Amino acid sequence: MRKITYAEAIREAMTQEIKANEDVYILGEDIGIYGGAFGLTNGMEEELGRENVMSTPISESAISGVAVGSALTGMRPILELQFSDFITIAMDNIVNQAAKLRYMNGGKGSIPIVVRTPGGSGAGFAAQHSQSLEAWTAHIPGLKVVQPSTPYDAKGLFKAALDDNNPVIFYEHKLLYGLKGEVPEETYSIPLGKADVKREGTDVTVVATSIMVHRALQAAEELEKQGISVEVIDPRTLVPLDIDTIVESVKKTSRAVVVYEAVQRGGYGAEIASLINESEAFDYLDAPVVRLGGKAVPMPYNMNLEKQAVPQVEDIIIAVKSTIAPVTI
């Protein structure tokens, strides 16, 4: 099968969906001739027209509301927020409008929106362009939250997100945009709420999200050399969360590490760890579930410091080993 990048997979998904359904369009800042801050929409305006690829003023507050209003009246907008950090400016429309209009209205109306936005660190963008804010949105009833880690997942999850009749926050990772992988040309859908076992193993379960999936896989390879068999599970969607796949794995391995880039404190890893503890897997656990998230610091500019702020392969190795024999992390 042909290999394309994560960015190309998302662009292809968007293009195919806009062509297939006249209710679908994309709006966002600089997405026209410029192609978006990360080139995700390169060539789309030319191919699909300005009416489908709508470059907006730098007005996150308004464009997120425009997406809500147009979704409520029958469209299926894709909203590109240039960096996930800017979701803070769009938050009112996402949290106070999109997430709850249906519930407040007694079940009438729906808000089918996909908010696509790149998050994560590792590119030296410093504190206002490097955050992982998925826990914010996962906390809000009425929102679905997706974090694809591979080109294949990105394309299939995007279609599922767009076909969903609810607001979906689709967190991309800016370091993954160049990652290549096998992706079918035709459209396909990966259901929201279905985790993927990225690597099978028997000793420890590592639940990792977004870019941490790749670091966990590298750690697993290294650990295998040391005689430790690691199973790597990518939930792919935080809401809905496929806790069953995670629980089944932990019952098999009896140990679990949850790895994520976002600040560990108050992060979504705590939710996953807690769900494991509250599940039938608890009786199988041979060690406490370990969380490994980012340090509670604004992302520093210096790239050595930046690296230090979020889990790296070696940190995952230490965390996995700590579930087998006590190690100071």
Partner 1 sequence: METSYANVITDIGKEKLQDMLYQLMLIRTFEEAVERLFMQGKIHGTMHLCIGQEPTAVGAITTLTNEDKITSTHRGHGHCIAKGTDVPKMMAELLGKATGHCKGKGGSMHIADLDKGNLGANGIVAGGLPIACGAALTSVKKNLGYVVVSFFGDGATNEGSFHEALNIASIWKLPVIFFCENNHYGMSGNIKQMTNIENLADRAVAYGIPGEVVDGTDVLKVYEVTKKAVERAKRGEGPTLIEAKTYRWRGHSKSDARKYRTREEEQDWIQNKDGIKKFKEKLLNAHVLTEAEIEELEAQVKKEVEEAVAFAENSPEPSLDTLEEDVFA
Counting residues that bind partner 1 (by CB under 8 A) gives 42
Instruction: Single out the residue of 16, 42, 88, 92 in contact with partner 1 (rule: CB under 8 A).
Output: 92
Asked if residue 128 binds partner 1 (CB under 8 A), the reply is no
- Per-residue binding string, partner 1, 25-64, x by CB under 8 A, is x-------------------------x----xx-x-xxxx
Is 129 annotated in the active site? yes
DSSP assignments along 165-229, one per residue = SS-EEEEEETTTTT-EEE--SS-----TT--EEEE--SSEEEEE-THHHHHHHHHHHHHHHTT--
The minimum distance between CB 62 and partner 1, in angstroms, equals 3
Six token digits for residue 135: 């826990």
Instruction: Please answer whether residues 194 and 246 qualify as being in contact, where contact means their C-beta atoms are separated by less than 8 angstroms.
Output: no
Cα→Cα distances 1→152, 177, 199, 278, Å:
11, 19, 21, 41
DSSP assignments along 116-166, one per residue = EEEE--SSS--TTS----HHHHHTSTT-EEE---SHHHHHHHHHHHHHSSS
Any idea what DSSP says for residue 75? -
Instruction: Please answer whether residues 294 and 261 qualify as being in contact, where contact means their C-beta atoms are separated by less than 8 angstroms.
Output: yes
Instruction: Single out the residue of 69, 123, 175, 187 in contact with partner 1 (rule: CB under 8 A).
Output: 69
Asked if residue 107 binds partner 1 (CB under 8 A), the reply is yes
Asked if residue 117 binds partner 1 (CB under 8 A), the reply is no
User: With respect to partner 1, which residue has the nearer C-beta, 71 or 310?
Assistant: 71
Asked if residue 72 binds partner 1 (CB under 8 A), the reply is yes
Site for partner 1 in 160-199 (CB under 8 A): 165-166
Asked if residue 142 binds partner 1 (CB under 8 A), the reply is yes
Six token digits for residue 315: 């940190």
The minimum distance between CB 77 and partner 1, in angstroms, equals 8
Asked if residue 218 binds partner 1 (CB under 8 A), the reply is no
Helical (H) or strand (E) element with 65: helix 60-72
Cα three-residue angle 224-227-232, rounded to 5 degrees: 40
Instruction: Single out the residue of 105, 128, 202, 302 in contact with partner 1 (rule: CB under 8 A).
Output: 105
Candidates 105-113, 124-132, 195-203, 281-289 — which segment interacts with partner 1 by CB under 8 A? Answer: 105-113
Asked if residue 21 binds partner 1 (CB under 8 A), the reply is no
Asked if residue 302 binds partner 1 (CB under 8 A), the reply is no
Instruction: Please answer whether residues 196 and 231 qualify as being in contact, where contact means their C-beta atoms are separated by less than 8 angstroms.
Output: no
Asked if residue 304 binds partner 1 (CB under 8 A), the reply is no
Asked if residue 97 binds partner 1 (CB under 8 A), the reply is yes
User: With respect to partner 1, which residue has the nearer C-beta, 101 or 309?
Assistant: 101
Asked if residue 225 binds partner 1 (CB under 8 A), the reply is no
Helical (H) or strand (E) element with 115: strand 114-119
The minimum distance between CB 68 and partner 1, in angstroms, equals 5
Burial 267-291 (b: 16+ CB within 10 A, else e): bbbbbbbebbeebebeebbeeebbb
Contacts to partner 1 by CB under 8 A: 25, 51, 56-57, 59, 61-75, 77, 92-93, 96-97, 101-112, 141-142, 144, 165-166
Q: Which residues are designated catalytic?
A: 129
